[in-house]
Amino acid sequence: MSDNGKQRLPIEHRGAQLEDRFGRVARKLRISVTDRCNFRCNFCMPSNPVWLPKSEILTYEEIARVTEILAGMGVTKVRLSGGEPLMRRDIDKLVSMLRQIPEITTIAMTTNGFHLPEMAERLKGAGLDSVTVSLHSLKPERFDGIVGRQGVFKRVIEGLRIAQKVGLNPVKVNVVVVRGCNDDEILEFAKLARKTNLTVRFVEYMPFDGRKFWQPELLVSGDEILRAIESVYPLVPLAREQGSTAQVYRFADGVGGNIGVITSMSSPFCKDCDRIRITADGKIVPCMFSRDEYDVKVLLRSGASDEEIAAFIRQAFWNKFAGVETLLREQKVISHVRPMYKLGG
């Protein structure tokens, strides 16, 4: 055991793929490139966020270096997030840098879509493969109220259209469903998938809200969401990709795009989780539901070798938390973990 009570990585695992003590292997990397955001969604952002100093944010070169090290340990897919990643200046340059890493097969981004109209083509040209846009209402006034900004709904919808036009594929929509807020729009979002060929993914409300409003009564489960859709549009489940956070369905009549449900609270997929996260200020976060963080920035800025950084990451990932399933068994009700804008989902 180490000094902080964590288990030490066995010697035989120190030069192999990136594996935790439960046998889960990292294949996907999620990178928060900034904590800043131009929206104020209350299930993500606090009312008056205090941003990280720019000097604490990883540079593009530091992000690319860590990604290359992780790629050498078997990571093949990267997702860029925030805060709002398109607030980071010249983010397409980072995409281009990551595209040069041979082992990285897929680069995706999660965004609020505000800057997509002018950025989608540049991102595609730099090597971005796909994009997911957070869209929590199809009613313009309600949307403005949710994001805390007026008159932006049409711009986000235009961003989705342009993302499809320039060839980003797939283009997905994430909807965080909150009881009493937007749960009356489930069928409208299903219609959106049918009309546009978008993949619409319904996300269960999780305890990562910036204002700590989360409570179990506000959770709309994946089962409830599916029942609402199937009351009108029968669905057929598709084979779940190993490690995926979502169960995906197609419409039985073959019309339109797909429907996904992300059941992180009611039926989590912890047993084959293959993700590792890096915060904007360089903290390795093996599991979003754990408060464990490991500061790799210190090594990046103190002259550590790639081998030393790799060893540090291996040890951090080895100690990955079992997952939210364990919390649900032990606590029944999960308390607030951290604001989502600090992690990027």
List the chain domain ranges. Answer: 11-342
Q: Are 308 and 1 in contact (CB under 8 A)?
A: no
Cα angle value 231/233/235 (rounded, 5°): 105
Strands 199-204 and 171-177: parallel
Q: How far is CA 27 from CA 17, 132, 135, 194, in A?
A: 9, 19, 27, 31
Strands 235-237 and 77-81: unpaired
Q: How far apart are CA 107 and CA 165, in angstroms?
A: 18
Q: How far is CA 330 from CA 186, 209, 264, 268, 327, in A?
A: 31, 22, 16, 15, 5
Q: Which helix (H) or strand (E) holds 88?
A: none
What is the full per-residue pLDDT of the chain (345 aa) written as tens digits? 333 446 665 545 555 799 999 999 999 999 999 999 999 887 777 777 889 999 999 999 999 999 999 999 999 999 999 999 999 999 999 999 999 999 999 999 999 999 999 999 999 999 999 999 999 999 999 999 999 999 999 999 999 999 999 999 999 999 999 999 999 999 999 999 999 999 999 999 888 766 667 788 999 999 999 999 999 999 999 999 888 999 999 999 999 999 999 998 888 888 999 999 999 999 999 988 888 999 999 999 999 999 999 999 999 999 998 887 777 666 656 666 677 777 766
Q: How far apart are CA 232 and CA 149, in angstroms?
A: 33
**Per-residue burial over 277-301, b = 16 or more CB atoms within 10 Å of its CB, e = otherwise:** bbbbbbbbbbbbbbebbbebbebbe
Q: Which helix (H) or strand (E) holds 130?
A: strand 130-134
CATH superfamily of the domain spanning 11-342? Aldolase class I (3.20.20.70)
Q: Which two structure tokens, joined as six digits, stand for 338?
A: 């951290």
Bond preceding residue 83 cis, omega within 30 of 0: yes
Find residue 143's DSSP bridge partners: none
Total-model pTM: 0.92
C-alpha closest to that of 344 among 45, 46, 114, 35? 35
